[in-house]
Structure 1
Amino acid sequence: MHLSLPSEHTPRYTDFEISGISDETMREGGERALYGADDSRKLQLIEALTEGGLRDIDLGSGLTEPRFLLRCLHAQHMLGRIPEDTRFVFNLTLKTWEPLSEALKVIPRDYLANIQVSLGMVEYRQEEKLLERAHERLSALGVGSFRSSILNAFSHEIDEKRYSFINEQIGRVRALGINLVRVNDSIGTLFPEATAILAANLVRDNPDTTFYLHSHDDRGLGLANSLASIFHGFQMIEGGVAGFGNRAGLANLEVMSQIFTERGITVAGTELNTEKLSRAATLAEEVFMVLPNVYRPVSGMLVRNENAGIVNVPDYLGVSRPVDYFLNPIGTFPTTVAQALENAGFPEHLTANEEFLEAVATRLTDHMENTLYPVKRERFQELLHQVHEFYTDIVRLDAVHDAALDVLQERAPVPAPVA
């Protein structure tokens, strides 16, 4: 049987405040980075994220990340490069918690007291009470507080069995004093109407718990689902600049920031800056060596470009927005030429001369088609080849086998010399 919206539920769409935004750029961006990233550039990216108003930075997953977290904490508390109210979250799952908890020992206890650890896969080895054991061990290390992450492979509807499982896990983490819970759309199959039902029911049934959604973009619905979650009661939201996240990514934070401005949605304790988040998005592409998405909403390098020569609907409707106009052969009409010349102050005897305007349009089109296009087409093919070549050295699982054989070969006993 499938759940439905509670009868008393009232959604909120404008003019409300949420308690925070969790930034996943660093953690999931690092996980997705095919060739890794160096710590100095990653720290610069964190600084850019905080300049954009983000104050909840999720790190973790890898064995090298505790040392990077220590670098960030030093930069925050000793150098003042990161705002003091920024909270770092170290993310680990119960499948990998033991080596990661050992790695966390590099961080002094006074620092550990100020970070938060996110415990994922809380259902893993539930019969052995692994969640409870990990929580106890990490608390003994000095970790100050915790949040939890509940994995799910949702369908397009929320059934009672799946919902009951989520509430069972919430009960387990609440028994440990954890009241911040992330519900994962782990494979990106949620739809906004199902997200609405899930959020409304969870908030009603767990009034003392703060929820947020981990919404992957595998169906192109990451942002839509994230917004649906807070429209229907979740108190936090998350995403990554430029949509950074595993596979197709997560909700795009600079787009989210723009929508928040338009809808009057605020974040407690901070103020988002869409322009600075857009700059952080560009930096994230550089840090993790991802080719720029030039037409990405809000922050894409060319997203403000409009063809000046066709009937531009936003202009026709009188919508004011920042625009960089361009021309191509499709849009080079004599009327376009006339308007451009008139705006530049050319006299009327030229702007009204059809033969003159046709000659100018023809010259422009000839330059575009016969000079510019062949050069750009050749260059594009070169770039395309370079892109394919760049992504051919990804380390695949076969490399594990080869590395193991190398180690075994190196460890083989050396035969004694023959007398």
Structure 2
Amino acid sequence: MSRHVLISGASIAGPALAHWLHHHGMTATVIERAPRLRLGGQTVDLRGAGRTVIERMGLEPAARARTTHEAGLHFVDGRNHVRASFGSESLNGDGFVTELELLRGELADLLYQHTRDTTEYIFGDEITGLSDSGDGVDVTFRRGAGRRFDLVVLAEGFRSRTRDLVFADIARTRSFGLYTAYFTIPRAETDGNWARWYNAPGRRVVLLRPDNLGTTRASLSFLHPQGGLDRQPLSAQHEFLRGHYADAGWETPRVLDAMGDSDDFYFESIGQMRLDRWSRGRIAALGDAAYCASPLSGMGTSLALVGAYVLAGELARHPDHREAFDAYEAIMRPYVEQAQNVSALAPRLAAPKTRTGIRLLHTAARVAANPRIGRLTTRFTNPPADAIDLPSYGVDGG
């Protein structure tokens, strides 16, 4: 079917959609605001239906070659003593750490390299206007000349500005009162091949994860009642984090010292995106821009990959784009709703306020890590990554 589709966003969902559109005989152009592919970011996992989509793309071997080789997750105390451990095989291999853990940038690069010869990529530009005339969409850009496309798909992030050009009146967000800062720091002797999770009183978490590039991925997560911390200037964000974590203990001073030198620092308020509908006319939303489930869900990558697969498949199946968009939403909506079913208590349970609460968390983690108990708790702890019957769309292995 000869359709030319403009995709806004070159992270995970956008290039994945470009692959499947080309597979079904359509043409994709991907526009990305950043001047080049964004290779930063923390670890993501391929699990459930998301992993199935990667397999159907023929990319599982390439993805496996780029894994972080993370052995699992240790919960540690202030003296770096291990209080509980979850190996990559724990919780049926689908728990905190899976066998297919990749850096977000590594997965984005894999998808880009796989599609660059069949997809037009435009970096350093962005959409400024969308006019749906009924038989096409006229698009204006900040730098490039205006163009006309058959369809437009917004595959940007949770804070997508382009989404607000189309869906602002039907977009709702759910906040958890949780902030997270992500950045890369130099590898230290204490960094092995296990991720380490440290809780400090005051609902503060420090997480250090090994990567496959010789560095360590750090994150600082905390609950805080003040809104808008993520909208402050970079210097103010750094200053706040240094003050807020000044007495946290463990290896936190090392993390704070390295924070200012990191070139991929990113600070965000954790939340979910709820759109009443994922399409209007010839414009649709995909991935985090449409249905961000938050990092708490463990489902962001799966939703992006599966959503791209289903959207392209339904566009190939239906000559009428409205029927295709409706089918895409009908298939994906139950999967998304399960992914977004994250308890408001989850951040508080993971980041206790007191030392007593932290000891209780460690005890609960040790119990859950027990293989016999773990088999009983996986239905409550594992994200619903397989909770969808993927159509085949004529793909081998489907």
Q: Same fold (TM over 0.5)?
A: no
**Greater share of helix:** 1
- Higher Cα Rg: structure 1 or 2? 1
TM-score bracket for the superposition, by shorter chain length: under 0.3
TM value normalised by structure 2:
0.27
Answer 1 or 2: higher relative contact order, Cα 8 Å, separation at least 6: 2
TM value normalised by structure 1:
0.26
**Greater share of strand:** 2
